[in-house]
Amino acid sequence: MRMRPTVSWTPAEDLPPGTTDPRPVAEILNAGGVLVLSGAGISTESGIPDYRGVGGSLSRHTPMTYQDFTGSHAARRRYWARSHLGWRTFGRARPNAGHRAVAAFERQGLVTGVITQNVDGLHQAAGSEDAVELHGSLGRVICLSCGARSPRRDLARRLAEANPDFAPVAAGINPDGDADLTDAQVGDFRVLPCTVCGGILKPDVVFFGEAVPPQRVEHCRALVREATSLLVLGSSLTVMSGLRFVRQAAQAEKPVVIVNRDATRGDRYAATRVALPLGPTLTAVAGTLGIRVEAEAASESEAAVEGEAASEAS
């Protein structure tokens, strides 16, 4: 059965409005021991759309589910055709000021770790060394039969060779790197097997309908336990995948500050929500704390998700 991802939530109570005062962010960062939890909103300034914001992709696009992907060759063909085209655009995204500010806070010892719900590799490309990719990375591919992992760039090269005439024009790109194509545009796109065992290849990401590996969840819970506070950046917290860490921090009476333009499912657990754009806000906070956020480096012109950190991290 086709599963529809959770698009929105309706608060069961009146939530306080967000503030436009960035001082709460500066205060918890200045205290140190901050764990960052980031969502799609931190990457929108890099040109990658979010799922649930204004104009979010879920209003027009249903992401592939694990059940559909594993149960249908036609679904896999549709996915890999759309993802192969999307990879060309997705891979050109660069870290923005928000990603670079988080990395600067890490270098200063104020941020102890990053949990990201994104699969774009932009935190790592900006210099965050130990970001936990809660939902995996589009920079890797995994075989569902033998478990072998390989860099996405290798599969992209093989798919290009196997489909030399595939060059449709997509209507748009989605947060999961999936391009909007019609069935006619997908056509008879050729899907390739694992080079090790001939099994089914899947991007090394957690699809809708698939569970985050338990050991990864426990690692994130340990990061929450070790942190002094939790700073949520650009996540609606609509699904439990990220919300559980907000609940854990709140239950441990650790301050939670959320930076997100719109209300979130975690607002009731937070000390405050700052309704400001992420890049400019984090850069301004860094300046207040006397921390320099590096300008976009020339090396970032290479596709962020094709970088070694995103492609080969395990």
pLDDT by residue for the chain (314 residues), tens only, comes to: 344 445 455 666 677 789 999 999 999 999 999 999 999 999 999 988 765 455 444 444 577 899 999 999 999 999 999 999 988 777 788 999 999 999 999 999 999 999 999 999 999 999 999 899 999 999 999 999 999 999 999 999 999 999 999 989 887 777 677 888 889 999 999 999 999 999 999 999 999 889 999 999 999 999 999 999 999 999 999 989 999 999 999 999 999 999 999 999 999 999 999 999 999 999 999 999 999 998 875 444 344 444 433 333 33
pLDDT at 87 (0 to 100): 86
pLDDT at 302 (0 to 100): 41
In a domain, 306, yes or no: yes
In a domain, 245, yes or no: yes
Q: Work out whether the CA dihedral 306, 47, 36, 22 comes out positive or negative.
A: positive
Let me know the angle formed at the C-alpha of 47 by 187 and 300, rounded to the nearest 5 degrees.
105
Task: Count CA atoms closer than 13 A to 236's CA, side-chain side.
Answer: 16
Indicate which CATH number applies to the domain containing 159: 3.40.50.1220
Residue ranges for the known binding site for NAD(+) are 39-59, 117-120, 234-236, 278
pLDDT at 299 (0 to 100): 42
Determine the Cα–Cα distance for residues 308 and 218; give it in Å rounded to an integer: 26
Question: Domain limits at 224?
Answer: 23-312
Three-class DSSP category at 227: coil
Q: Where are the beta strands (DSSP E) in 39-195?
A: 111-116, 132-133, 136-143, 149-151
The total of structural domains in the chain comes to 1
pLDDT at 274 (0 to 100): 98
pLDDT at 13 (0 to 100): 66
User: Strand pairing partners for 173?
Assistant: 179
In a domain, 13, yes or no: no
pLDDT at 90 (0 to 100): 74
Q: Where are the beta strands (DSSP E) in 76-128?
A: 111-116
What is the identity of the amino acid at 170?
A: A
What is the identity of the amino acid at 215?
A: Q
Determine the Cα–Cα distance for residues 284 and 96; give it in Å rounded to an integer: 14
DSSP designation for 188: T
Q: Find, among 266, 283, 256, the residue nearest to 126 by Cα.
A: 283
Active-site residue set:
135
Q: Give me the sheet containing 256-259, strands edge to edge.
A: 132-133, 111-116, 34-38, 229-233, 256-259, 272-274
In a domain, 282, yes or no: yes
- C-alpha radius of gyration, the chain, whole number: 19
